[in-house]
Amino acid sequence: MKAPLEPYKHMFALEEWTKSSALPTTIHELVKLRVSQLNGCAFCVDMHSHELKEHGETDERLFSVVTWEETPFFTEQERAALKLAEEGTRLTTGRVSDEAWDNAKKHFTDAELGALVVAIATINAWNRFGTILQTVPGSMRK
């Protein structure tokens, strides 16, 4: 089964808006990869890993996204984004911690932070499509 096309149009519009926002492309892609890992969306993990490689991401950093907190390979801004993405995905306490939010606010402008929130919410929704519809990793690769 495939999802109805009309909702996809709106999802793609959100994706395009975020891509054209002030949020740095690398951070956008790192967040999409990490959230997809957390959600177990194999299709999205595959896609965003390849997209990061196309943007010149190193294997070292790519392989370490899953353990970003334990590695020295990410900037403070990237760490703030990844932390916010993790907490915004897991929501184990029902909300994002003040610490994660305040740290993100230190590293991003209001415009960037707004785009980051949209990126986190959007990839979480895409992951739901991918896992529910059992999308096959690599099936849409160019």
Beta-carbon neighbour count of residue 99 at 10 Å?
A: 10
* CB 122 within 8 Å of CB 26: no
pLDDT the model gives residue 2: 62
Specify the pTM: 0.91
Residue of 139 and 44 predicted with greater confidence: 44
In a domain, 115, yes or no: yes
In a domain, 75, yes or no: yes
pLDDT the model gives residue 125: 93
pLDDT the model gives residue 134: 84
Beta-carbon neighbour count of residue 100 at 10 Å?
A: 18
Residue 90 tokens read as 């897991």
Q: How far apart are CA 23 and CA 115, in angstroms?
A: 6
* CB 129 within 8 Å of CB 3: yes
Mean pLDDT of 5-11: 80
pLDDT the model gives residue 132: 84
pLDDT the model gives residue 3: 62
In a domain, 142, yes or no: no
What is the phi/psi pair of residue 95, to 5°? -165, 165
CATH of the domain at 26: 1.20.1290.10
Share of the chain above pLDDT 70, in %: 96
In a domain, 52, yes or no: yes
Residue 32's domain comprises 22-132
Domain count, the chain: 1
In a domain, 65, yes or no: yes
Buried b (16+ CB within 10 A) or exposed e, 51-86: ebeeeebeeebbebbeebeeeeebeebbbbbbbbbb
Residue-wise pLDDT tens digits, 29-88: 999 999 999 999 999 999 999 999 999 999 999 999 999 999 999 999 999 999 999 999
